[in-house]
């Protein structure tokens, strides 16, 4: 099988490696609007060749969209306009409602499978690509009934070969759940980094004193803004909903501290401890 990956950063680059490592593709080609990233991906051996979109559409069995989420609906439509009956288009974006809406009436919609592999790191670019990145992580497939059976079967078999449990959801469900378990974590991390950088002028102290705790809560603040701004805006209503609740919870804790409400704090933290059972 010949695959073309569009977007050769952390996700696309890691997926390219997985396709080759697992012997799923004999040829993996790449496209990236950044010449530097394209050259780097080739140099790192993530892809065998850098090609044009025309060649990708003419000669690929599988086309994979791993670009920022705000670019996916338009790119997907352009590709569906020209894709053949035996070719497959898949995306790996973190939000889905807009993509599903934009493509819903497209006569070739069936050739597309909308997926979201639940893996990422705070690093970015081709250099951040990892072998076996996705193994053991869950992948969400959205609105599977809108995909042709053969296309769905092919994509499912790829993810299964990578060792990924598959969950089927509507675009609405996926965007809501991802706001809770992924997007909000990034927002709080960015805000925490801004807080500390704002307050803590003596960087030396941050560096010296930051124990493992600080580093893990702020790690995601290293993530790529051009990746995450479109995700927050593309999932605006869910993200705002969770963000509102998060600020509310912080205000409750703040009032308890103001009032020296030791018992209230302990009770709230004991409820928070329940996360322990969920994340074994």
Scanning residues 177 to 206, which ones bind a second copy (CB under 8 A)?
177-178, 180-182, 184-200, 202-203, 205-206
- Tell which positions 88-127 bind a second copy, by CB under 8 A: 118-122
User: In this chain, which stretch among 18-26, 58-66, 73-81, 259-267 interacts with a second copy, using CB under 8 A?
Assistant: 259-267
CA distance 214 to 243: 20
Look up residue 229 and give its two tokens.
């701004």
CA distance 25 to 28: 6
What is the distance, to the nearest Å, from the Cα of residue 14 to the centroid of all Cα atoms in its chain?
A: 12
User: In this chain, which stretch among 2-10, 44-52, 85-93, 216-224 interacts with a second copy, using CB under 8 A?
Assistant: 216-224
Q: Is 272 in the site for a second copy (CB under 8 A)?
A: yes
Residue 29 contacts by C-beta under 8 Å, 6 or more apart in sequence? 2, 3, 4, 5, 47, 48, 49, 50, 51, 55, 56, 60
Smaller CB distance to a second copy: residue 2 or 138? 138
Smaller CB distance to a second copy: residue 81 or 132? 132
Q: Is 11 in the site for a second copy (CB under 8 A)?
A: no
Ramachandran assignment for 260, one of left (phi > 0), alpha (psi -120 to 50 degrees), beta (any other): left
- Tell which positions 232-251 bind a second copy, by CB under 8 A: 232-233, 236, 239-247, 249-251
Q: Is 210 in the site for a second copy (CB under 8 A)?
A: yes
For residues 125 and 10, is the Cβ–Cβ distance under 8 A? yes
Q: Is 221 in the site for a second copy (CB under 8 A)?
A: yes
């Amino acid at each position: 099988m010949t695959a073309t990956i569009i977007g050769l950063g952390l996700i696309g680059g890691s997926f390219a490696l997985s396709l080759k490592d697992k012997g799923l593709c004999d040829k993996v080609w790449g496209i990236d609007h950044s010449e530097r990233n394209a050259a780097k991906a080739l140099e790192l051996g993530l892809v065998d060749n850098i090609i044009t979109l025309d060649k990708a559409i003419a000669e690929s069995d599988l086309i994979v969209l791993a670009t920022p989420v705000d670019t996916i609906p338009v790119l997907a439509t352009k590709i569906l306009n020209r894709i053949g009956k035996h070719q497959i288009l898949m995306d790996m974006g973190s939000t889905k409602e807009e993509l599903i809406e934009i493509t819903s009436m497209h006569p070739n919609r069936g050739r597309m499978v909308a997926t979201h592999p639940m893996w990422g790191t705070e690093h970015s670019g081709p250099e951040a690509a990892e072998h076996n990145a996705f193994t053991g992580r869950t992948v969400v497939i959205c609105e599977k009934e809108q995909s042709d059976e053969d296309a769905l079967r092919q994509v499912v078999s790829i993810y299964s070969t990578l060792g990924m449990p598959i969950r089927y959801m509507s675009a609405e469900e996926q965007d809501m759940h991802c706001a809770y378990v992924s997007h909000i974590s990034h927002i709080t991390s960015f805000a925490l980094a801004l807080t500390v950088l704002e307050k803590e002028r003596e960087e030396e102290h941050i560096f010296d004193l930051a124990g493992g705790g600080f580093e893990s809560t702020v790690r995601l603040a290293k993530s790529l803004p051009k990746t995450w701004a479109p995700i927050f805006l593309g999932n605006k209503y869910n993200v705002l909903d969770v963000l509102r609740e998060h600020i509310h919870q912080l205000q409750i804790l703040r009032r308890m501290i103001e009032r020296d409400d030791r018992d209230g704090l302990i009770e709230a933290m004991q409820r928070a401890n329940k996360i322990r059972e969920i994340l074994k």
